[in-house]
Structure 1
Amino acid sequence: MTDPQLVLSGLVMGESARWHDGALWFCDWGAGSVLRLSASRTAEVMAGASGMPFCIDWRPGGELLLLDGPGARLLRDGVPYADLAGIDGSHPWNDIVVDSRGNAFVNNIGYDFPGGTPAPGLIAVVSPDGVARPVAGGLEFPNGMAVTADDSTLIVAESHGSRLTAFDIASDGSLSNRRVWADLPGVAPDGICLDPSGAIWYAAVPNEHCSLVREGGAVVTTIPLPDGAFDCALSGDGRTLYALTADYTNPAAMFGGRTGRLFAISR
């Protein structure tokens, strides 16, 4: 793989990287923007959000789902779609991934980050009719999530648990057969994405890298980055890995400065 090439700078804090409809989409939490990378490698604002975290994915029909973390709700093309406050309205909702049946999996870290005392988080599913229910608990800071191409498995990064955890997915979005997909000693995985090989790419903030890991924990490759790596996504052809980074050492810079950058690594 090539060395990381700078694509964009001047972001506040990039997160929720997704490849959709031939382009990279991501969120700039500090700027309150949902962005799409254009063919000329400029960032086009596609939607707005207030507060953070907020993350995105799409329903099978193409509607944009935006997880409004502080508002404890899910929006569909900007319109309220699901209320999450009845499950947890006190702590931040964090990440989202949607399967091909329209089940939207969302997670809650379970405490007030970064100042609160760590506590177990959870995963909920929002069914296609907009009804939300919890489907897994006891997670140590649930973060990035991915669904395998056959819709059989949900994989979630447990940042405080230094592992990737897997669940079997039923057709109604219920989760079962919880297991460790990969132990990652000394690593705090954040955003993740699936590789065509079936392995997982993860971004790690304090470790300042993205790594490709197989089920069982074998590391295939590691890409060092100049700052904390918050999320990553592959292009549609699987040939380019995009990584979002920011200076995580200073909260004032991370949430209010312009240290965020987007890098591309070619395979």
Structure 2
Amino acid sequence: MLRNPILATFAATLLATASGCAPAVDTAATHAYPTVGRITVYDDALRSIVAPDARIERIAEGFTWSEGPLWVGDGQYLLFNDVPGNTMYRWSARDGLSVFLKPSGYGGTDLEGLREAGANGLDVEPEGTVLLADSGSRLVARLDPASKRKTTLAATYQGKRLNSPNDVVRHSGGSVYFTDPPYGLKGIDESPLKEQPANGVYRLDRDGSVHLVEGGLRFPNGVALSPDERTLYVANSDGKHPVWMAYRLDARGDVLDRRVLADASDLVASGASGAPDGLCLSSDGHLFASAPGGLLVMDANGKRLGLIETGSRVSNCAFGDDGRTLFLTSHTFVARVRVQVTGLGSDR
């Protein structure tokens, strides 16, 4: 992916760090954010979820590929990653934009086999630590925001290295689900570094054991849990099979059965840019899912209610602020929109 910063039409501040990372443009200091995109209504039910005239605001820009947004309630700030840029950023309305962690993922010098060296998906734990899908280091880790220290939680399955963990979600019981496509490796499925025979969806238990719960998807990507935690949702960013899967879980967290929740084949065929990628849920069970064309809003049965478009590919989303602000990572920028539902887990 090529860097393509969007030029702001108003005063902006430039961020520069001693680490020498590429500068990113922060518009927080102006407290006036440009409006982008539009909201398309497919079903009248959307009107009680997102107002059709809600403003989609671009709040920060200048990234290669923004991903993995996470609202940290203890501190009231947003974390997100520029995966190819190997940088984690922090944004708040009060402080604006700053580099939080660089490198966010792989910290070595041998980049020959890596396509995306940075961290990707994030989730927060009750203690305030952050779970991190470290694509570049090919592992799942725990990050202490205070010390910036990372602890490896899982790096192998059945004695072989993981591909490049992409997204992660924590179950309230302490287990962690994560996806492991090979997007972080040069050559992707053809990478000589790839050791796993499957691009899997895994469960990491509290005892450190790793269990494969799905090995039949080509490119498992975004992952989320339903409000009652009885259903695991996984986005498959495969252009030949662009679907969202729903897995019914038992009390242990094993899969009882699976079904295709929704299919984006028609959107792919239309030429819309994007793929099933990251997703997040409201507390009433509505799905907000990155898709060709933008961010789809769907009900728990996969029915399309509307589309939030930013004018650029949307990679992921997260709820924050008072629980009714939806943040979207959208290629070179980050956007936000006020909604009329509360985000699942946004109080963390």
Q: Report the Cα offset of residue 145 of structure 1.
A: 0.9
- How far apart are residue 142 of structure 1 and its match? 0.8
Q: Which deviations, in whole Å up to 9, do the C-alpha atoms of 1:53-86 show, x marking residues without a partner? A: 5322123333222222243322223022222254
Given the alignment, which residue of 229, 237, 247 partners 2:314? 229
Measured in 1, the distance between the counterparts of 2:205 and 2:225 equals: 15
Residues 264 and 87 (structure 1), Cα distance of their counterparts in 2 relative to 1, 3 Å cut: farther
Using the alignment, how far apart are the partners of 1:62 and 1:79 within structure 2?
14
Compared with structure 1, are the counterparts of its residues 229 and 111 closer, same or farther at alpha carbon in structure 2 (3 Å cutoff)? closer
Q: Aligned pair 1:167/2:247, yes or no?
A: yes
SS of match in other structure, 2:307: strand
Give the alignment of 1:33-182 within 5 angstroms: 33-40=87-94, 42-47=96-101, 48-50=104-106, 51-52=117-118, 54-77=120-143, 78-84=150-156, 86=158, 88-89=160-161, 91-109=163-181, 115-116=187-188, 121-160=199-238, 161-182=241-262
Amino acid at match of 1:69: S
Structure 1 position 263, deviation (Å): 0.9
Distance 1:34 1:10 in 2: 13
Contact 1:102 1:127 in 2 (8 A): yes
Match of 1:240 among 288, 310, 325: 325
Using the TM superposition, give the Cα deviation of residue 122 of structure 1 relative to its aligned residue in structure 2, in angstroms: 1.3
1:191 aligns with 278
User: Mean Cα displacement is larger for which, 213-222 or 190-199?
Assistant: 213-222
Write the distance in 1 (CA, Å) between the matches of 2:105 and 2:137.
10
The code of the aligned residue for 1:73 comes to L
Aligned residue type for 1:91: N
Quick one: percent identity of the two aligned structures? 26
Query: 1:138 aligns to what SS in structure 2?
Result: coil
Alpha-carbon distance, 1:98 to partner: 0.8
Q: 1:236 to 1:165 in 2, by over 3 A?
A: farther
- The CA deviation string for residues 93-126 of structure 1, in whole angstroms up to 9 with x for no partner, is 2111111111111111257767445996211111
Which ranges of structure 2 fall in alignment gaps of 5 or more residues?
A: 1-50, 107-116, 144-149, 191-196, 268-274, 340-348
Query: Residue type matched to 1:129 in 2?
Result: D
**1:208–1:153 CA distance, 2 compared to 1 (3 A):** same
**TM-score, scaled relative to structure 1:** 0.83
Matched letter for residue 59 of structure 2: V
Q: CA RMSD in A?
A: 2.5
Shift of 1:25: 2.0
Partner of 1:261: 333
Structure 1, unmatched stretches of 5+, are 247-259
Indicate conservation of the 8 Å contact 1:25/1:35, yes or no. Answer: yes
Instruction: Give aligned pairs, total.
Output: 252
CA shift at 1:165, angstroms? 0.7
* Misfit runs of 4+, over 6 Å: 111-114
Aligned mates of 1:175, 1:152 — CA distance in 2? 10
Which structure has greater strand proportion? 1
**Matched position secondary structure for 2:167:** strand
Equivalent residues of 2:314, 2:330 under 8 A apart = yes
Indicate how the Cα distance of structure 1 residues 72 and 30 shifts in structure 2: closer, same or farther if over 3 A, else same.
closer
1:42 Cα deviation after fit: 1.6
